[in-house]
Amino acid sequence: MPTTESEPGTQSPVSGINPPAKVAIANPLQVDVFDPQRQPLVRWLQRLEGAFRVFQITEDTERAAYLLHFMGVEPFGILCDRLDPVDPYTQSYKILIEKLKEFYAPEPLEIAEIYVYRKRIQLTEESVQEYMAALQKLSLYCKFGDYLQMELRNQFVFGLKNQRIQSRLLETANLTKDSALKIACGMELAEKGVNKLKEENPSETAVDYIGEGAKQKKTKGREERKGNKGSQQQGSRKDSSTTNRFNLAKHNKYTNNKRSFVKSNDIICYRCGQAHLAPNCTLPRSVKCRECGGFGHLQKVCKKKGQANLLEEVFRVDDQEHLEHRAKFTVPLTIENKRIRFDVDCGSARYFLKLILSKHTCNYRSRKRIERY
């Protein structure tokens, strides 16, 4: 059976189906609209150029069109004002980027950025990873160059809040930025894990103090359980409880004093004055003190002896300082053939005169001596 070839563009008599026409597929490029309040211009341009590489958009006119399309209302208006009266769609992609950077990303001052970088330390609720990320962000405009890794390491170690991690990093030889971050992260995670285990399995339990209060509560409980007995037995029990508490307090006081004597380097017996504890003293308790008349200690360690010396010193100071203990300055004068002593009213305890002048004026004998200064 002969076959006939159909002319191009005509319907095939066999299939009865028209040839498929070419359909334009929309470009799936999707980038968030530029908002200076949410993201800096430099970061947004990095995402946009990354999308250009993925979808192989290399034409300058297409890049400029996409740039203007994905800009927000406010940035687009600012760009038009800076290019006015030129239409932004007639400009190249490079010129549009330069105009946007002049407004949204001006070149910061290097010294000011370094100052802010040096002042940055780790915050209270900030992890070491977050702290390192903040330092890397602040170092963008510091222009450290080849010393960037060393500067990040130094500021990271200096600004750590945890002194234990900081000490560990300071004592590590050949420390780099990556190794410092790795050690700090490991120690931080270990510390958090230990704290969590302590919270879940507390090892410390509350223990009641056994002392005067516990003894008193125990005695009180006995009295309540045996409250049916007579008042005379209760009174004797209270007296016994009071005596026990007194003895317990006395024992605790003696124990504390004994511990303090043991811990000190200069141990002196209060009975004989030798270098040993009083319970180990071999001095007989019948020995009589020559100072106070008491028994059981010697005169050189008598406590009343020190009090007597202190009282004597106080009286000696009173004699020297107070006016009522001083002798008066008097001058004998002859009035109506009678020698009468008069008090000298000078307001001073001493006279300051030249020796020659005193011999001519003071021609009488006195108990006072003229002192030279």
For residue range 142-151, list pLDDT tens digits in order: 999 999 999 9
In a domain, 129, yes or no: yes
In a domain, 171, yes or no: yes
In a domain, 259, yes or no: no
Whether residue 159 has pLDDT greater than 60: yes
In a domain, 354, yes or no: no
149 shares a domain with 86: no
Q: What is the mean pLDDT of the chain?
A: 75
181 shares a domain with 118: yes
* Domain span at 87: 41-105
In a domain, 65, yes or no: yes
The domain boundary, picked from 166, 194, 222, lies at: 194
Task: Give the confidence band of 120 by pLDDT, cuts at 50, 70, 90.
Answer: very high
Length of the chain: 373
The domain boundary, picked from 170, 194, 218, lies at: 194
pLDDT: which is higher, 5 or 68: 68
Supply the pLDDT for residue 7: 45
In a domain, 206, yes or no: no
In a domain, 152, yes or no: yes
pLDDT: which is higher, 359 or 129: 129
Cα 372 from Cα 296, distance rounded (Å) = 53
The domain boundary, picked from 194, 220, 249, lies at: 194
Whether residue 264 has pLDDT greater than 80: no
Task: Give the confidence band of 370 by pLDDT, cuts at 50, 70, 90.
Answer: low
Question: Which region holds residue 122: left if phi is over 0, alpha if psi is between -120 and 50, else beta?
Answer: beta
Supply the pLDDT for residue 191: 92
In a domain, 170, yes or no: yes
Domain total in the chain: 2
For residue range 288-310, list pLDDT tens digits in order: 888 888 888 888 888 776 655 54
Cα 279 from Cα 253, distance rounded (Å) = 15
Least confident of 76-80, 109-113, 146-150, 330-334: 330-334
